[in-house]
Chain A
Amino acid sequence: MQINFKHEWIETNIGLMLVLTMLAISVGGLVEIAPLFFIDKTVEKVEGVNVRPYTPLEQRGRDIYIREGCYTCHSQMIRPFRDEKLRYGHYSLAAESQYDHPFQWGSKRTGPDLARVGGKYSNEWHVQHLIAPRSMVPESVMPNYPWLQTTLLDQSDIASRMKALRAVGVPYSLTEAEREANIKRFGESVAAQLHIPDANRNLVAPANLGNYDGNKAGVSEMDAVVAYLQVLGTMVDFSKVNEDELIRSR
């Protein structure tokens, strides 16, 4: 039996055309999207690269960073170009944003990239720069964020925030078994910071100890933002990483 295919069948049958159009589009989508669920090469499994999730204080700082829209001007992704390496440091690894929800990559920069701003400036500089950017960098076009210093940090929902991140795969621990796993993976002191039942204590104690905003009275939003900025790009010690392995992992 021979079927004489005629394009006219499709053109004259709107139902068939609809089904076939959707089929054609979904093939295009599946080919691009489906493999991403199976590729496990993206996050570099290279010796010396052991990135940890953010502590509660850093995570709250990150939430404020997103709330204030810092990402509209600042990216957190150093691309593998010579000029970027010279100005910002080592190119960003996929491993470094594996716990970022949402990630802060980007190609549009009004301000500088912040992927490795941690440790580059003192806390004092960050505080003054956030309150009045032009007092530190005269040519800056960054807005002032004085309320960060005067607004106390909302600590009420930190456990819920961490649970939400845990639901999308960030290894914050809720059970004792998960905590044990974190101790093996990140060490005792980091694992303690990632334990959700202790979230509120972990939010306050480092803020008081670090005194990021230079003001001992209470935990301000400034404490959280500066704690977050100071950890950016510091989790991988590149002196212990073999560059060749990073290249080979691509």
Chain B
Amino acid sequence: MSEQHLQSQTVQTTGHAWDGDLQEFNNPLPTWWVYTFYITIVFAVLYWFIYPSWPFGKGFLSGIPVPGISRIVYQNDKGETVESHWNTRALLQADLNQAAEMQKPYFSKVAQSSFSEIARNPELSGFVQSAGKVLFNDNCAACHQQGGQGVVGFFPNLVDDDWLYGGTFDRIHETLINGRRGYMPAFAEVLNAREIDSLANYVASLSGIAHDANKAASGKVLFASESAACYYCHGENAQGRKETGAPNLTDRIWLWANVPAAEKAEDKVSAIRNVIAGGLNKGVMPAWGERMTPEEIKVLTVYVHQLGGGE
């Protein structure tokens, strides 16, 4: 009690007194602190005028472009250099301009070179390896998987030399730009169960899967007949037709019928039978022509081509 009395005598008080003797000390802030506080007020006022801040009328004040602080210079769609007040969209545009400038030596060469020139040129193919990998992982890997191995039953493998729509540079390029849509009619509507079973055995025989030879023989006749007309898409020798995206049936590579996962021979035949009976209305690849720049698609074309078995 006596100590507090002493302090109240040495430190200035606000002069208030509650309940008779409760006093409030008045300790002024240090001078440096007070001036720092004033500086922050000045800073805030300047900031309000330089950067977008105050609502004003039906819009807001967008700020004064001050060179070196809040002015952003970028190139617009027409390639003209324009300046803007500070905003994140202009900032992004300037950032993109800068990145494009850095990538230009590569992308302009990519734009000028043919696919095979890109693949042969060590510098450009190195660029394709790194830029293509990023593009592939961001856009393609969700379906074709990170290594390009695909998923049996859903999305084709890109690292082997089996191509549905063709593995030449031009065909890959076309696939990327326009996308693809797989289709096979459901033959349960036109053939009976016995005929479908024969066809399945014939298709199994083409890639050396255990099958019933008699059924396969009649399946072979059906395959080339007008009633089933399998040859029309898969080709007379069943090696597929890249114009229609019909797969090669003789190469032991399976996409739609999950033959590799079936352990017993009869299950393998049955997997084939299901596809023939039910047909396919899937195998959709989205079109990337509008999502990426022509140069990016070119880089991806070469990247996919060199993944495994480009033709």
B99 at the interface (CB under 8 A from A): yes
A39 touches B154 (CB 8 A): no
Which positions 7-24 of chain B face chain A at CB distance < 8 Å?
Answer: 16
A157 within 8 A of B: no
B285 touches A244 (CB 8 A): no
A119's nearest neighbour on chain B, judged by CB, is B286
Q: From A82, which residue of chain B is reached at the shortest CB distance?
A: B95
0 or 1 for each of A1-42: is its CB under 8 Å from B? (1 = yes): 000000010010000000000000000000000011011110
Chain A residues with CB below 8 A from B57, complex form = 38
Of A60-68, A86-94, A181-189, A220-228, the one touching chain B: A86-94
Least CB distance from B73 to A in Å reads 12
> A244–B281 Cα gap in the complex (Å)?
43
Knowing A39-B55, A121-B142, A122-B286, say if A136 contacts B151 (CB, 8 Å).
Answer: yes
Q: Which of the residues B62, B96, B282 comes within 8 Å of A85, measured between beta carbons?
A: B96
| Cβ of A101 under 8 Å from chain B | no
| Interface residue A242 (Cβ < 8 Å from any Cβ of B) | yes
**Contact A135 B284, beta carbon cutoff 8 Å:** no
Interface contact B16-A82, CB-CB below 8 Å: no
Q: Is the CB of B77 within 8 A of A244?
A: yes
- Given A120-B291, A121-B286, A122-B285, A82:B96 Cβ within 8 A: yes
* CB within 8 Å of A: which B38-68 residues: 52, 55, 57-60, 62
- Report the bound CA distance from A120 to B139 in whole Å: 8
Contact partner of A38 among B55, B62, B88, B284, CB < 8 A?
A: B55
Chain A residues within 8 Å of B90, by CB: 247, 250
A146 within 8 A of B: no
Please indicate the chain A residues that have their CB under 8 angstroms from the CB of B291 in the complex: 89, 119-120
| Cβ-based interface call for B76 (8 A) | yes
Hey, which chain B residues are within 8 Å of A244, CB to CB? Answer: 76-77, 82
Nearest A residue to B98 via CB reads: A82
Contact A247-B58, Cβ < 8 Å, known A89-B291, A91-B92, A128-B154: no
Check: A243 CB closer than 8 A to any chain B CB.
yes
Q: Is A124 an interface residue (CB 8 A)?
A: yes
Please determine whether A41 and B16 come into contact, CB atoms closer than 8 angstroms. no
Enumerate chain B residues within 8 angstroms of A129, measured Cβ to Cβ: 142
| Central interface residue in A38, A122, A135, by most chain B CB within 10 Å | A122
Beta-carbon contact of B87 and A87 below 8 Å? no
Interface positions, chain B 260-307, Cβ under 8 Å from A, are: 281-286, 290-291
Do B89 and A120 have beta carbons less than 8 Å apart? no
Cβ-based interface call for A218 (8 A): no
Q: Could you mark each residue 119-143 of chain B with 1 if its beta carbon is under 8 Å from any beta carbon of chain A, else 0?
A: 0000000000000000000110011
B93 at the interface (CB under 8 A from A): yes
By a CB distance below 8 angstroms, the chain B residues around A124 are: 154, 282-284
Chain B residues, CB < 8 A from A248: 84
Let me know if B91 is at the binding interface, CB within 8 A: yes
Measured between C-beta atoms, what is the minimum distance from B50 to chain A in Å? 15
Interfacial chain A residues near B93, Cβ < 8 Å: 243, 247
Q: Which of B16, B60, B282 contacts A8 (CB 8 A)?
A: B16
User: What 1/0 flags go to B93-112 for Cβ under 8 Å of A?
Assistant: 10110010000000000000
Kindly identify which residue among B55, B59, B84, B89 contacts A80, using a CB–CB cutoff of 8 Å. Answer: B89
Residues of A124-139 at the interface with B, using a CB-CB cut-off of 8 Å, are 124-125, 128-129, 135-138
Give the distance to chain B from A16, nearest Cβ to Cβ, in Å. 16
Residues of A within 8 A of B151 (CB): 135-136
Does the CB pair A243–B77 fall under 8 Å? Answer: yes
Q: Give the CA-CA distance A41 to B143 in the complex, in Å.
A: 40
A136 touching B142, Cβ below 8 Å = yes
Tell me the complex Cα distance, A82–B93, Å: 9
B92 contacts which of A40, A81, A242 (Cβ < 8 Å)?
A81
Residues of the B chain whose Cβ atoms lie less than 8 Å from the Cβ of A242:
77
Tell me the complex Cα distance, A214–B58, Å: 49
Find out whether the CB atom of B89 lies under 8 angstroms from the CB atom of A239. no
A123 at interface, CB cutoff 8 A = yes
* Cα distance, A121 to B143, chains bound together (Å): 8
Q: Indicate which residue in B138, B281, B286 contacts A86 across the interface (CB closer than 8 Å).
A: B138
A246 at the interface (CB under 8 A from B): yes
In the complex the two chains form, what is the Cα distance from A138 to B150 in whole Å? 12
B58 close to A38 (CB less than 8 A) = yes
Q: Which of B55, B91, B99, B142 contacts A125 (CB 8 A)?
A: B142
Given contact pairs A80-B92, A250-B52, a sample of 5 additional A-B residue pairs in the complex whose CB atoms are under 8 Å apart: A38-B55, A91-B89, A119-B291, A247-B89, A250-B87
A-B contact pairs, 16 of them (CB 8 A): A35-B60, A40-B58, A80-B89, A81-B95, A85-B96, A120-B291, A121-B286, A122-B285, A124-B283, A124-B284, A242-B77, A243-B76, A244-B77, A250-B62, A250-B87, A250-B90
